[in-house]
Chains A and B, each alone.
Chain A
Amino acid sequence: MNKKLINWLSWSLILILVVFIVMFLSLCIGSVKIPLSQIFHPSDKIIKEILFKIRLPRIILGFAVGGALAIAGVILQGLFRNPLVEPYTLGISGGAGVLVCLNIVLKVYQKFGVITFPVSGFLGAGLVIILVYILSVKRGILRIRGLLLTGVMISFISSSLMMLIMAITRAENLHGIIFWIMGSLEEPDTFLVKIALLISILGLLISYFFSLDLNAFSCGEEEAHHLGVDVEKTKKILFILASILTGVCVSVAGIIGFVGLLVPHLMRIFTGEDHRILLLTSYLCGAGFLIFSDTLARTIISPLELPVGVITGVIGGSLFIYVLTKRGR
């Protein structure tokens, strides 16, 4: 049959397989090693507890966040036709960061519980999305370049504000802030994990309605218009979609860098520019990569834990340089 379709299907299957392997790996290893046979029929109550209360929610969250960040990256890079754009370029993480810092410093969480972290994160993200959007829309036209510049500036402003908060706050708060900034998949509230998974998968589904439009965007906005794409509507929907995905990720897992930048790049090299396959493979690759990184973060210096953002940054960054220099040759 169609060569392209076979190619696409095989990539999807390979990646699904990889994600499953990584998932089982992640279930097995940790400070308590659990053999594969135990996963399906856990004999021990403690093992059951570890598997389903601790490890599985982390894996699911890693899946949701990794996938969502990766497709947010694909969408934004496609929209901006700029390979250096990532989900955090638009200042969404910065906005979330500032409000989470405030939450920690003002000790709001002591009154209302840990649920205030994702809530404040999402509020901050939402505020930035609205701000960037309003500043970049002129006469009903969303100016893509303006969007990028505003976003980058808001990123700078919010990171300065975070520095300010960190500079004047007490040392006891610093630890919380720093750990939040570096990102973690530990989320005690399973309801939030479910919400994140739901939004992430919905995001993937919605993005598929725009996969052809994203293909058309690869030759420029005006060209996309000539190909019959309703450019303004599409830009707005895609921007909001990518923003919400990013906002949700940041509010449940903090700032986990590099997934949204690296994964779309890698997948472009392997599966090509066509967004009809790029979205799915990026989602799977992002999910697998984040679960894998999180497993490493849990185990490298166990029983202590590294922030997962450190792992994604180090692995992601080096892999990125390797791929780019190898391809440049």
Chain B
Amino acid sequence: MLEIRNLTCGYDNFLLKDISFKVNSSELVGIIGPNGSGKTTLIRAITKLVKPIKGKIIYQGKNITKLNFKELAREIAVVSQDAYFSDTIKVKDFVLLGRIPHFKKFQFLETSRDLKIVEEAIKLTEIIEIKDRFLKQISGGEKQLVLIARALSQEPKLLLLDEPTTHLDITHKIKILDLIKRLNKKYDLTVLIVLHDLNLASQYCDRLILLKEGKIYKMGTPYEVLTYQTIEEVYKTVVIVKENPVTSKPYVFLVSEEERKKYD
């Protein structure tokens, strides 16, 4: 579905170098890596916010530079880290903004189909109860759900999420990731998700891409990527990796300085 070939791109002070990977249809792929390793830049490159210096990004056989912004927005939706929430917009109107890429030329009002899709997105993300509230009246976790609802109302085939669970409590973290997993499994939505929490990434993703200083350090299943050697190498932190007793996925334990000294 999405193929990135030898991509080099970035800004004056930061570059992604020679990135190549593929995301297959209905896969859930996680991007992990330390702060400043280029995760967000990669997302921005896929949505044409950052232009490639070298290499190509191919979406369903087409180079994305050939697609205009509107065409791209009908295929790929983004839940980004720093959305701006206008206080005076109601949740349902905000979700409705996701229909903008589907407006035809000279179309002025939403069609009944638009409204139906928005209703569906609101139902899927379980925000029916807050749909008449203003954006300033809802919590951080609900805001993420609202953002996801808006992204879904774009009817995307590929969903990009940039750290959707940061700053959230465990209830909302699980709620959001469960939702994404459900969308991925039930509706065959392809998902590329940036996550900070290695354990959540391990739990939910089919495959992981580990970035370090703008390059792909390792790629593969959570078992292959999340080994203590790799993590210590990339994050420069002592960790212990054990199996999750329930899911048998790798689980990363952190060790404090105090404890480390005991074993040295």
Interface membership of A229, Cβ < 8 A: yes
A272 / chain B contacts, CB cutoff of 8 Å: 88, 93
Interface membership of A226, Cβ < 8 A: yes
**Of B94, B101, B108, which one neighbours A228 at CB under 8 angstroms?**
B101
Q: Is the CB of B69 within 8 A of A229?
A: yes
Least distance between A206 CB and chain B CB atoms (Å):
14
Q: Is the CB of B69 within 8 A of A230?
A: yes
Which residue, A2, A218, A219, has most C-beta atoms of chain B within 10 A?
A: A219
B223 / chain A contacts, CB cutoff of 8 Å: none
Q: Is the CB of B86 within 8 A of A226?
A: no
Q: Is the CB of A219 within 8 A of B69?
A: no
Interface membership of B154, Cβ < 8 A: yes
Q: Of all chain A residues, which has the CB nearest B98?
A: A227
Complex Cα spacing A225 to B47, Å? 8
Interface membership of B32, Cβ < 8 A: no
Interface membership of A167, Cβ < 8 A: no
Q: What are 15 contact pairs spanning A and B, CB under 8 A?
A: A81-B86, A212-B103, A219-B85, A219-B86, A220-B82, A220-B83, A222-B49, A222-B80, A223-B83, A225-B47, A227-B73, A272-B88, A272-B93, A274-B93, A276-B109
A230 / chain B contacts, CB cutoff of 8 Å: 68-69
Q: CB-CB contacts of A208-236 with B at 8 A, as 1s and 0s? A: 00001001101110110111111000000
Q: Is the CB of B77 within 8 A of A226?
A: yes
A5 / chain B contacts, CB cutoff of 8 Å: 109
Q: Is the CB of B82 within 8 A of A276?
A: no
A229 / chain B contacts, CB cutoff of 8 Å: 69, 100
Interface of A is mostly: loop
Least distance between B206 CB and chain A CB atoms (Å):
24
Q: CB-CB contacts of B76-97 with A at 8 A, as 1s and 0s? A: 0110101111101100011001
Interface membership of A48, Cβ < 8 A: no
Q: Is the CB of B97 within 8 A of A227?
A: yes
Q: Of all chain A residues, which has the CB nearest B75?
A: A228
Interface membership of A187, Cβ < 8 A: no
Complex Cα spacing A222 to B71, Å? 16
Interface membership of A268, Cβ < 8 A: yes
Complex Cα spacing A223 to B147, Å? 10
Interface membership of A273, Cβ < 8 A: yes
Give the interface size class of chain A: 20 to 34
Given contact pairs A215-B100, A219-B84, A230-B69, A225 touches B49 in the complex (Cβ within 8 A): yes
**Of A220, A223, A228, A273, which one neighbours B70 at CB under 8 angstroms?**
A228
Complex Cα spacing A228 to B77, Å? 10
A222 / chain B contacts, CB cutoff of 8 Å: 49, 80, 82
B124 / chain A contacts, CB cutoff of 8 Å: none
**Of A219, A228, A276, which one neighbours B72 at CB under 8 angstroms?**
A228
B196 / chain A contacts, CB cutoff of 8 Å: none
Complex Cα spacing A133 to B195, Å? 39
Q: Of all chain B residues, which has the CB nearest A225?
A: B49
Complex Cα spacing A216 to B94, Å? 9
Which residue, B49, B69, B78, has most C-beta atoms of chain A within 10 A?
A: B69
Interface membership of B74, Cβ < 8 A: yes
Complex Cα spacing A272 to B87, Å? 11
Complex Cα spacing A218 to B88, Å? 10
A 187-220 contacts with B by CB, 8 A? 212, 215-216, 218-220
Q: CB-CB contacts of A224-263 with B at 8 A, as 1s and 0s? A: 0111111000000000000000000000000000000000
Given A219-B94, A219-B97, A227-B98; 20 other pairs, CB 8 A cutoff: A5-B109, A81-B84, A212-B100, A216-B97, A218-B84, A219-B85, A222-B49, A222-B82, A223-B80, A223-B84, A225-B48, A225-B49, A226-B73, A227-B73, A227-B101, A228-B72, A228-B101, A229-B69, A268-B88, A276-B109
**Of A2, A227, A273, which one neighbours B100 at CB under 8 angstroms?**
A227
Q: Of all chain A residues, which has the CB nearest B108?
A: A276
Complex Cα spacing A268 to B86, Å? 12
B101 / chain A contacts, CB cutoff of 8 Å: 227-228
Q: Of all chain B residues, which has the CB nearest A78?
A: B86
Complex Cα spacing A226 to B86, Å? 17
Q: Is the CB of B49 within 8 A of A215?
A: no
Q: Is the CB of B47 within 8 A of A273?
A: no
B97 / chain A contacts, CB cutoff of 8 Å: 215-216, 218-219, 227
Least distance between B64 CB and chain A CB atoms (Å):
13
Which residue, A215, A227, A230, A273, has most C-beta atoms of chain B within 10 A?
A: A227
Complex Cα spacing A226 to B72, Å? 8
Q: Of all chain B residues, which has the CB nearest A212?
A: B100
Q: Of all chain B residues, which has the CB nearest A5?
A: B109
Q: Of all chain A residues, which has the CB nearest B151?
A: A226
A216 / chain B contacts, CB cutoff of 8 Å: 97, 100
Least distance between B108 CB and chain A CB atoms (Å):
7
B68 / chain A contacts, CB cutoff of 8 Å: 230
Complex Cα spacing A94 to B39, Å? 45
Given contact pairs A219-B86, A220-B82, A227 touches B154 in the complex (Cβ within 8 A): yes
B48 / chain A contacts, CB cutoff of 8 Å: 225
B 103-132 contacts with A by CB, 8 A? 103, 108-109
Given contact pairs A222-B49, A230-B69, A273 touches B80 in the complex (Cβ within 8 A): no
